[in-house]
Amino acid sequence: MEISTLTTYHCLAFVWYFFVAYSITHVRTEERPSEVFLYGGQWKYLTVLNLVLQAVFYGVSFLADVLRLIKKLRCAKCVISSRDLLFSVLAFPVSTFVSISFWTLYTYNRELVYPKSLDGVIPLWLNHAMHTAVLPFAVLEILATPHRYPAKKKGVILLGFVAFLYISWVLWIYSVTGEWVYPLFALFSPAGLAAFFAGSLAVIISFYNFGEFLNRMIWGQSKFCF
Secondary structure of 184-214 as H, E, C letters: HHHHCCHHHHHHHHHHHHHHHHHHHHHHHHH
24, 126 contact by CB (below 8 A): yes
Helix segments in 110-184, DSSP class H: 124-131, 134-144, 152-177
- DSSP SS3 for 86: helix
Q: What is the pLDDT along the chain (226 residues), one digit of tens a residue?
A: 688 899 999 999 999 999 999 998 877 655 555 454 557 778 889 999 999 999 999 999 999 999 988 877 778 889 999 999 999 999 999 999 999 999 999 999 998 888 888 888 889 999 999 999 999 999 999 999 999 999 999 999 999 999 999 999 999 999 988 888 888 999 999 999 999 999 999 999 999 999 999 999 999 865 444 4
Burial label for 179, CB within 10 Å (0-12, 13-18, 19+), is middle
CB burial readout 182-220, b (16+ within 10 A) else e: bbbbeeeeeeebeeebeebbeebbebbeebbebbeeeee
- What pLDDT shows up at residue 225? 43
- What pLDDT shows up at residue 71? 78
* Amino acid identity at 31: E
- What pLDDT shows up at residue 86? 97
- What pLDDT shows up at residue 224? 46
- What pLDDT shows up at residue 19? 96
What pTM, to 2 d.p., does this model score? Answer: 0.91
Number of H helices, E strands in the chain: 8, 0
- What pLDDT shows up at residue 75? 83
